[in-house]
Structures are given as C-alpha cells and as structure tokens.
Amino acid sequence: MLQIWALDNIGEITQGVDLADVVISALDQPLQAGDIVVVTSKIVSKAEGRTRVANDREAAITEETVRVVATRTSETGHTTRIVQSRLGIIAAAAGVDASNTPDGTILLLPEDPDASARRLAASLRERLGVPLGVIITDTLGRAWREGQTDQAIGAAGVHVFDDLRGSVDAEGRPLVVTMPCVADELASATDLVKGKTSRKPVAIVRGRADLVGSLDLPGARSIVRPPERDMFHTGSAEAYAEGFDAGLKAASGDA
Amino acid sequence: MLQIWALDNIGEITQGVDLADVVISALDQPLQAGDIVVVTSKIVSKAEGRTRVANDREAAITEETVRVVATRTSETGHTTRIVQSRLGIIAAAAGVDASNTPDGTILLLPEDPDASARRLAASLRERLGVPLGVIITDTLGRAWREGQTDQAIGAAGVHVFDDLRGSVDAEGRPLVVTMPCVADELASATDLVKGKTSRKPVAIVRGRADLVGSLDLPGARSIVRPPERDMFHTGSAEAYAEGFDAGLKAASGDA
C-alpha cells in the first residue's frame, strides 16, 4: 500500500527560511524510515532567494537558457519559447514562473536542485534520525501530449530509476530496455495531492522504502537525456529550417 | 490521503476473459464510490486476443504505424523506430510488446483503449453499484528524459485533465496555461505499486473521487496533442533531412 499525503499549514516561504524547519513544523505524524519527502521547486526557490522583479522576466529567461529548442508564436501573438536551461531541463520559459509569487515578482528555478535536495535530506535525516529521500519537483509540459505533469528536477537519497536492466520478466526473459523513472512517477503521484491552486507544496510518500538509499545516489540531473541520445533535441520546424539553409548552401557550393 | 495498492492474485489472462470478473474476484476489500481502477494495457490486449506470433513483429509494427516520427540505429545495429500509432500515441515500436507474453508471441495495444475502458467501467459500475473510474496504461518513453513512465492510453468515467484554466492561483492571478494531466499522473502513480517483473497488472487509487464522473467524459485520446500544436512532430534528424532536400531543390529551381 502506497500512502501519499500533503502537509497542511505550510506558510509563506521567504528567503533564508530553513526548509527542514518548515517540513518538521508541518508534520502531522512522525516520519518513518523510507518515507520520501516531495517538495515543489517553488518553495525551494523562494527560500534560496531566487526571486526577481517581473519586469526582468525576458532577461531572466535568457539568463537561464543554454539553448533555444523551439519557438512558436500563436495566432494571438503569444510566443512560446521551449528552451534547455542550464540545468539541462527542457521546459517552456526555462522554468521561470510567475504563478503563486507575490505580485510584480517572478521566480527562477533553484540554482542546483540536486544540491538543494541533498541539503534538505541531510538535515531531515540528522534531525529526525531516520533515512528519508527528498525529491524536488517542477510542473513540465512534454512533447506529443497535452497538459503538464510534475517531474523530478532534484533528488537526494532516493533512486531516480528503478533499474530493471538485468532483471527478467515473469516469463524469464530479460527486460533489456525497461528503466522506469520512479523519481518522475513519485513527482507526478504527489501532484495528485498537492494541487496547484492551494498552498500545499510538500507531500510525503510512504510505501517505497526500497527506493531510499545513500545521499550519494545520482540526482535528478541523471534523468536529463544527453544530446547524443536525444532524437528530439531540436524542434521539428527549427531542424527543418537548419536543413533547408544547409541544402541551399550545398547546392550553391558554399558548403 | 491518497491510497494506492495493487491487487494480488490476478492470474494469467487469456482471450475472451471478462476483465470485470477478473478485477472483482481479485478485490481484497469492497471498492468505494470514486475509486479509480488502473489496468495495464497488457491484460486488456490479452483479453481482447491482440496476440500475434513473434515472427510477425515487424509486420505488426508496420500495421500499427500511421507515421514514422524518428528512427535511429545504435552502434550495435539495433534500430529504434519511434512512430505514431493509429491511436495517435507516439511510442517506440508502436507499443508492440514482447515482455511478459508467452514465448514466441507478441502483443499489440488494444484496438480502442478508450472503448475498452468504457466497457470495463460500465460493467464494474453496474455490478458493484458505485461510480468508479477506469484508466488503461502503457509504459512509454519520452523526449528529453531518460527512462519510461506509465501513461494513460485509455480512460473512462474519469477526468483526464484537472482543468485549471479559469482558476486562479493563491495570489488570485489566472492560471492560464496550467492543465495537469491527472490521467497520466494516476498511471505513473500506480506503476509504483504494480512493478514490471511481478504480475500485478491492476491497481486501485482511492482519494481523488472528485476526478470521477460520467462515462461520457473525454477519453485518453484527448491527451494526444494534435499535429498543428506539436512542435516535436518529427525527429530532429528527420526534419533536418527533409529541410536539406527541400533546400537543394529550391536552389536548383525544382521547388
């Protein structure tokens, strides 16, 4: 049985707040060994002072962007920029967020979400005396499918993949390529109790203690697919345009 | 509190089996109004006789494919075909599956997973006398991120999106583009209790009765992003190659 619940009574988070204090104060029951604490990146960013003034939004997106993956302008003139951020994550507007922030402000993603997760996990483990995992989430769109799901952008003390490579299925055949991304599945599961409109940025997952391990396990950065393995590294229209230019040049002998 | 558990004692599923019988026989406690029954597509396919002989695998993939999205051949000579299936879903090998099937056989996805979900939901509602939702899942890879997560490919009696458009955030500002795909989040959540190597193809989610509604709600087909909204409709290399050819032709006056 998996049990998932959100903590009530998490107040407004301000810069410099100790998130371990916040989580521990809001607990409605003692955490147990193997519990996983799932936190939205929003409160991590707020605690880390990643707030900027809203007028700097475009500059902030540019600052966070390593590479533009795809852009599209809608009929209403709204431009969507899908970019790869310095965290490796591909997301609209580099994860720069203007919802649930004080008026006139925007929020960047945490500087290093895996490091933030490690600090929080270490502090919670030390103060509560039990091994716990921590996942930091963001709400991300995806290719091919409408809507968003919550995904893991930071992780510590928890296996991000349930690595079945080397395992066999019920018929005894090797499961060669199956590697469930349990960190993303945990992030998505907790979105079902956290909601977007209510202020419930912290949830607990109980029942997969087998996924909790050393604080040195690979973080969520390991979920980012490296470019050489990514068949959707560039938007279709952008890749076509690049190819078209190259074809023109090749034909004219400039290539 | 969200509670998620897998049903034990689901035996091998054969063609013609009534899945409502299977679920009801395996229940370890009465289902409650608003429970959501999440079933892997594998057992739906088996019950529907979607088994083929393994030698026909390539032909089966071709039969299920509407459009090739991207292909890549690894250094070891293994070719990955990412295709759009007749269900609209973009997936490796059109969802044709050779794991957890009897030796020498493969399994296609259900003919119409939303219809399968509707039949199962209607039968369970009638026999158990409570409103329930049904989701049918498949294990899908994704762009940009390593590993797979379980996603919804069929749904009935349950909202597939928690539509927050028109809602406001905690600061009172409109949440214009946020539309969590709760069906995919439910699918991912149940993968955490179903596992891949054990035979636990059915899970129950209790605690989001607000998502359960009419059997006429849009199914999982509505999650598929239409081509005109899909910025990753074609693999980057394929789009580049198309553009290159078009550029060559344009330069030579053939265009």
Q: What percent of chain B has pLDDT over 90?
A: 76
Residue matched to tokens 């209510």 = A198
Measured CA distances, A182 to A123, A155, A189, B188, B191 (Å): 23, 11, 10, 8, 8
Which residues on A lie below 8 Å from B145 (Cβ)? 151, 181, 184, 223-225
Do residue B128 and residue B177 come from a single domain? yes
The predicted-structure confidence for A70-116, as pLDDT tens digits, reads as follows: 998 888 888 889 999 999 999 998 999 877 788 889 999 999 999 99
Task: State which residue of chain B sits closest to A233, comparing Cα positions.
Answer: B236
Q: Does residue B161 contact residue B225 with C-beta atoms inside 8 Å?
A: no
Which residues on B lie below 8 Å from A252 (Cβ)? 251
Do residue B207 and residue B233 come from a single domain? no
Q: State how far the Cα of B203 lies from the Cα of B122, in Å rounded to an integer.
A: 18
Domain, as residue range, for A251: 225-255
Q: Name B23's Cβ contacts closer than 8 Å, sequence gap at least 6.
A: B7, B37, B39, B120, B124, B202
Residue matched to tokens 């919550």 = A150
Which residues on B lie below 8 Å from A5 (Cβ)? 1-2
Q: Do B236 and A241 touch (CB under 8 A)?
A: no
Do residue B171 and residue B155 come from a single domain? yes
Strands of A28-184, DSSP E: 36-40, 51-53, 65-73, 79-85, 90-92, 105-107, 133-141, 148-156
Q: Give domain status of residue B89, yes or no.
A: no
Q: Give domain status of residue A152, yes or no.
A: yes
Report residue B168's pLDDT band, with 50, 70 and 90 as the boundaries: confident
Do residue A238 and residue A133 come from a single domain? no
Report residue B175's pLDDT band, with 50, 70 and 90 as the boundaries: low
Say yes or no to pLDDT of B118 above 90. yes
Q: Give domain status of residue A93, yes or no.
A: no
Do residue B215 and residue B241 come from a single domain? no
Amino acid in position A114:
D
Contacts 24+ apart (CB under 8 A), B18-24: B18/B47, B18/B123, B19/B43, B19/B44, B19/B47, B19/B120, B19/B123, B20/B120, B20/B123, B20/B124, B20/B127, B22/B47, B22/B202, B23/B120, B23/B124, B23/B202, B24/B124, B24/B127, B24/B128
Q: Does residue B147 contact residue A161 with C-beta atoms inside 8 Å?
A: yes
Report residue B232's pLDDT band, with 50, 70 and 90 as the boundaries: very high
Q: Give domain status of residue B158, yes or no.
A: yes
Do residue B132 and residue B231 come from a single domain? no
Classified as helix, coil or strand, B99 is: coil
Phi, psi angles (nearest 5°) of residue B44: -65, -45
Do residue A134 and residue A36 come from a single domain? yes
Q: What is the pLDDT of residue B197?
A: 64
Classified as helix, coil or strand, B61 is: helix
The predicted-structure confidence for A192-201, as pLDDT tens digits, reads as follows: 999 766 679 9
CATH number of the structural domain spanning residue A167? 3.30.1330.100
Q: Does residue B232 contact residue A246 with C-beta atoms inside 8 Å?
A: no
Which among B193, B34, B191, B2 has a CA at the least distance from the CA of A3?
B2
Name the pairing type of β-strands B36-40 and B133-141: parallel
Q: Does residue B124 contact residue B132 with C-beta atoms inside 8 Å?
A: yes
Distance from CA of B199 to the nearest CA of A (A): 7
Q: Give domain status of residue A48, yes or no.
A: no
Highest mean pLDDT, choosing among A59-73, A80-94, A192-206, B25-39: B25-39
The predicted-structure confidence for A219-250, as pLDDT tens digits, reads as follows: 999 999 998 889 999 999 999 999 999 999 99
Q: State how far the Cα of B218 lies from the Cα of B204, in Å rounded to an integer.
A: 21
Q: State how far the Cα of B230 lies from the Cα of B55, in Å rounded to an integer.
A: 34
Do residue A144 and residue A253 come from a single domain? no
Phi-psi region of A248 (alpha: psi -120 to 50; beta: other; left: phi over 0): alpha
Least confident of A72-76, A233-237, B106-110, B199-203: A72-76
Q: State how far the Cα of B142 lies from the Cα of A248, in Å rounded to an integer.
A: 33
Do residue B229 and residue B127 come from a single domain? no
Q: Do B150 and A185 touch (CB under 8 A)?
A: yes
Which among A67, A63, A65, A41 has a CA at the least distance from the CA of A52?
A63
The secondary element (H helix, E strand) that includes residue A6 is: strand A2-6
Supply A105's token pair.
């402000």
Do residue A23 and residue A148 come from a single domain? yes
The secondary element (H helix, E strand) that includes residue A5 is: strand A2-6
Do residue B156 and residue B199 come from a single domain? yes
Q: Give domain status of residue A68, yes or no.
A: no
Q: Do B147 and A184 touch (CB under 8 A)?
A: yes
Q: Please state the domain count of chain B.
A: 2
Q: State how far the Cα of A178 lies from the Cα of A164, in Å rounded to an integer.
A: 6
Distance from CA of A164 to the nearest CA of B (A): 8
**Global ipTM:** 0.94
- The Cβ-side half-sphere exposure at B216, using a 13 Å CA radius, reads 0
Q: State how far the Cα of A16 lies from the Cα of A232, in Å rounded to an integer.
A: 38
Q: Do A232 and B230 touch (CB under 8 A)?
A: no
Q: Average pLDDT for residues B206-226, to the nearest whole number?
A: 96
Q: Do A242 and B240 touch (CB under 8 A)?
A: yes
Q: Give domain status of residue B211, yes or no.
A: yes
Do residue B159 and residue B233 come from a single domain? no
Q: State how far the Cα of B247 lies from the Cα of B255, in Å rounded to an integer.
A: 9
Distance from CA of B127 to the nearest CA of A (A): 25
Strands of chain B, DSSP E: 2-6, 36-40, 51-53, 65-73, 79-85, 90-92, 105-107, 133-141, 148-156, 202-206
- The DSSP output letter for A162 is -
Q: What is the pLDDT of residue A197?
A: 64
Distance from CA of A205 to the nearest CA of B (A): 9
Q: State how far the Cα of B138 lies from the Cα of B142, in Å rounded to an integer.
A: 12
